[in-house]
Amino acid sequence: MKQNTLPFQGTPEQEAQLKQVIAEHKGQKGAVIPVLHEAQGIYGYLPIEVQEMISEGLNVPLAEIYGIVTFYAQFSLNPKGKYQIGVCMGTACYVKGSGDLLNKIKEILGIEVGECTPDGKFSLDATRCIGACGLAPVLTVNEDVYGRLVVDDIPGIIEKYQAL
Amino acid sequence: MEFARGHVLVCGGTGCTSSGCEQIIKEMEAQLKANGLEKEIKVVKTGCFGLCALGPIMIVYPEGAFYSRVKVEDVKEIVEEHLLKGRIVKHLLYNETVQEGSDEIKSLNEVQFYQKQMRVALRNCGVIDPEKIDEYIAFDGYKALGKVLTEMKPEEVIDVIKESGLRGRGGGGFPTGMKWQFTAASSGENGKYVACNADEGDPGAFMDRSILEGDPHSVIEAMAIAAYAVGADQGYIYIRAEYPIAVQRLQIAIDQAKEYGLLGENIFDSGFNFNLELRLGAGAFVCGEETALMNSIEGMRGEPRPRPPFPAVKGLWEKPTLLNNVETYANICQIILNGADWFKGIGTEKSKGTKVFALGGKINNTGLVEVPMGTTLREIIEEVGGGIPNGKKFKAAQTGGPSGGCIPAHLIDTPIDYDSLMAIGSMMGSGGLIVMDEDNCMVDIAKFFLEFTVDESCGKCTPCRIGTKRLYEILDKITKGQGTLEDLDRLEELSHMIKEGSLCGLGQTAPNPVLSTLHYFRDEYVAHVVDKKCPAGVCKDLLSYSIIADKCKGCSACARKCPVGAITGEIKNPFVIDTDKCIKCGACVETCKFGAIVKG
């Protein structure tokens, strides 16, 4: 995966929010993962600067925090695009051709899985089964779900967000 | 309580939400208001009905009219015709419920999809509003907990569960009552825990999600019963963060149960206390393994621990912990209410009760089904599932996700239960059932699952971390046409080493997709390595396209579509494909109106 090249641009408001989250969970058993979830909700990703704040706040070694962040697929060290495209690679979607959808998106956007377009507009992920197998093959763009797709539907979907 | 003359039930499961049920509900409410019906007709957002392929789904009672693939534009007609004038809108009904030449509609139980089904774990899904505890209580909710706390001793509860023959629905099939007994027998001086495994990670499986979305209280109530039986007072539900609707409904359900005094201190004045918390996963398949799950709840990397000690002795924070799967819990209240004998009467000799399956892949009725144990694969695929679309031939069914195997067509009459599936090299797993047709390549499927396990192996033990990677590389080589016959032996040898040497269930079962496809579809592997052909036409490197001269009319449509200019010829004469230039994109096949281009 590509390393994050954008400098960290956290705001004081975000920091205050994070501090509050840390204060709420302090002393709770097994607090690290819930705090990381909320921190990612605040910043959109978990750069090392954020991990440092959590390490200090919860009094957990930074190495341990980093170990947890890199272990779980949902935690991201890189910023995500404004529109996060997730192509479901669950078995039901795969046997119905989601691999072809993924290739088409890569071709149009010129990025690989886990990357973000240079303008910050789109990022692409191959997601685990999202459980909408009845609609396979499925992709999501942020909260929107598109089902029963064929490769020819892809350009239209991307154009729709490009225009926004 | 207000009474309505009619109810409109709209499915609010993930499948139907993805097909836009929210807009349907909004439009329905607006249309009811516009027609002055908002007091007479009640709109209820329920859990999954099971027929996800037909979503968004709407059922109107008292008639029981089943509208499928409802569009926002259809709502007006349903309100004005059906709800206002009492005339069912026949052309919008699910076509199986329409009776030719009659105004009567068939009830849902007569529809083939539901006929063979028996709903125990899913009994309330698609019936009640999961966000309202009162509806759950009206359907005997919390009655089992009341019975247990006021009339039964913990040992009696465990005896009933043992007697019922219930086995874990998460995959392994360990007898649930035994697990409860072990946990109850452990010393609990410093507290014990009960936990629910809702980390449903198998790709293509969504049974647990549907239960949590459609009937969250049934799991909460069962966990309270389990806590009473084993002597715990704190519970955790570990759920995937990828299931936002389920998380939200569970939280609502927990809050409501607390408000009603069904969770918390001194429940039913019995002196029994029980608190329940949600813990979200963060996208690691291995966390479905029980010891890894506990590490994750404790806030660490989800790596498995060696067993023994088993969780029943040393689990969460080193204390005795009872861990069951969502569907297992969903059966508990029914067993308490109806008795062990009732439950024992369903299913086969060693597998009692029902099993929920998520039907997916190349099948007409994709969705959620619950059938008695012992139902054959044929009944599930051909009757409940409605067969394979587009007249294609059934090739294999995959059960058990990345831990399971492929069941070939000649074993389609196998009864589905724990032991029969084990005997043919697959496993029950959590209940994903993916159907594959002649267009799916078995080597490619094995490679797909290995890619998954390589990615999800936690890395703690070597056989799994490195072994699965090597398996994947060999499979990749074969799909590229560079494999040899020795590779097939190597695959087998390596698979057995990984199975024997891995620490946890993930590694021990990871080679199953390879072993089962090698066993049942060896000829397909051989075709890849010896003939350098992919019989299903999936593996791109082994494909070549050619034009059948007799069928080609020389229209040049394919040549114009070809992105690399590999097709040449003269108009009205047969064209040819230059296989060196061809990138095997398949665009020409789709373009040709005469079926003159073949791959193979």
Q: How far is A161 from chain B (nearest CA, A)?
A: 18
Rounded to the nearest angstrom, the gap between the alpha carbon of residue B479 and the centroid of all alpha carbons in its chain is 28
Which chain B residues have a beta carbon less than 8 Å from that of A30?
279, 297-300
Which residue from B363, B376, B505, B506 is spatially nearest to B440, judged by alpha carbons?
A: B363
Residues B210 and B332 in one domain: yes
H/E stretch holding B468 reads helix B462-479
B301 touches chain A (CB under 8 A): yes
B308 touches chain A (CB under 8 A): no
Give the domain-ending residue among B313, B343, B373. Answer: B343
Option in B52, B301, B436 nearest A95 (CB): B436
Chain A contacts in chain B segment 254-283 (CB below 8 A)? 279-283
Give the domain-ending residue among B343, B369, B399. Answer: B343
CB pair distance less than 8 Å for B360 and A134: yes
Residues B426 and B550 in one domain: no
What is the C-alpha radius of gyration for chain B, rounded to an integer number of angstroms? 27
Residues B11 and B71 in one domain: yes
Residues B141 and B35 in one domain: no
Helix (H, G, I), strand (E, B) or coil at A52: helix
Residue of B21, B301, B456, B543 best to disrupt the A interface, most CBs of A under 10 A: B301
CATH number at residue B479: 1.20.1440.230
pLDDT digits (tens, 9 = 90+) for B350-385: 999 999 999 999 999 998 999 999 999 999 999 999
DSSP annotation string for B322-375? EEEEHHHHHHHHHHHHH-HHHHHTSB-SSSBSEEEEEEEES-SS-EEEEEETT-
**pTM of this prediction?**
0.91
* B50 domain-assigned: yes
pLDDT digits (tens, 9 = 90+) for B519-573: 999 999 999 999 999 999 899 889 888 899 999 999 999 999 888 899 999 999 9
Which chain B residues have a beta carbon less than 8 Å from that of A59?
none
CB proximity list for B435: less than 8 A, separation 6 or greater? B359, B360, B361, B362, B363, B381, B385, B388, B394, B397
CB pair distance less than 8 Å for A95 and B206: no
| pLDDT of the residue at B20 | 87
Residues B273 and B138 in one domain: yes
| pLDDT of the residue at B312 | 96
pLDDT digits (tens, 9 = 90+) for A33-87: 999 999 999 998 999 999 999 999 999 999 999 999 999 988 998 888 899 999 9
d(CA B403, CA B49): 28
Q: How many residues does chain B have?
A: 600
Q: How many domains does chain B have?
A: 5
Which residue from B131, B328, B297, B128 is spatially nearest to B223, judged by alpha carbons?
A: B328
CB proximity list for B318: less than 8 A, separation 6 or greater? none
d(CA B462, CA B425): 24
Quote the domain boundaries for residue B37.
6-107
**Residue B567: other Cβ atoms inside 10 A:** 24
CATH number at residue B159: 3.40.50.11540
Check pLDDT > 70 for residue A5. no
Instruction: Return the CATH class of domain A83-162.
Output: alpha beta
What ranges do the domains of chain A cover? 12-71, 83-162
A128 pLDDT tier (thresholds 50, 70, 90): confident
Residues B407 and B266 in one domain: no
B347 or A4, greater pLDDT: B347
CB pair distance less than 8 Å for A29 and B299: yes
* B536 domain-assigned: no
* B572 domain-assigned: yes
Q: How far is A30 from chain B (nearest CA, A)?
A: 4
Residues B152 and B195 in one domain: yes
Which residue from B405, B315, B397 is spatially nearest to B361, judged by alpha carbons?
A: B397
| pLDDT of the residue at B150 | 96
d(CA B408, CA B519): 10
Residues B446 and B489 in one domain: yes
Chain A contacts in chain B segment 116-145 (CB below 8 A)? none
pLDDT along chain B (600 residues), means of 10: 85 88 94 93 92 90 92 95 93 87 80 92 94 96 97 97 95 93 93 96 89 96 98 96 91 97 96 96 92 95 94 96 97 97 96 95 92 96 94 94 93 94 87 93 95 94 97 97 96 97 95 96 96 92 90 92 90 92 85 87
Residues B154 and B205 in one domain: yes
Read off the pLDDT of each residue in A114-136 and give the average, rounded to a whole number: 87
Option in A96, A130, A135 nearest B242 (CB): A130
Residues B419 and B451 in one domain: no
Helix (H, G, I), strand (E, B) or coil at B383: helix
Residues B247 and B294 in one domain: yes
B318 touches chain A (CB under 8 A): no
Q: How far is B572 from chain A (nearest CA, A)?
A: 29
Residues B461 and B429 in one domain: no
* B119 domain-assigned: no
- Residue B153 burial (C-beta neighbours within 10 Å; 0-12, 13-18, 19+): exposed
H/E stretch holding A15 reads helix A12-25
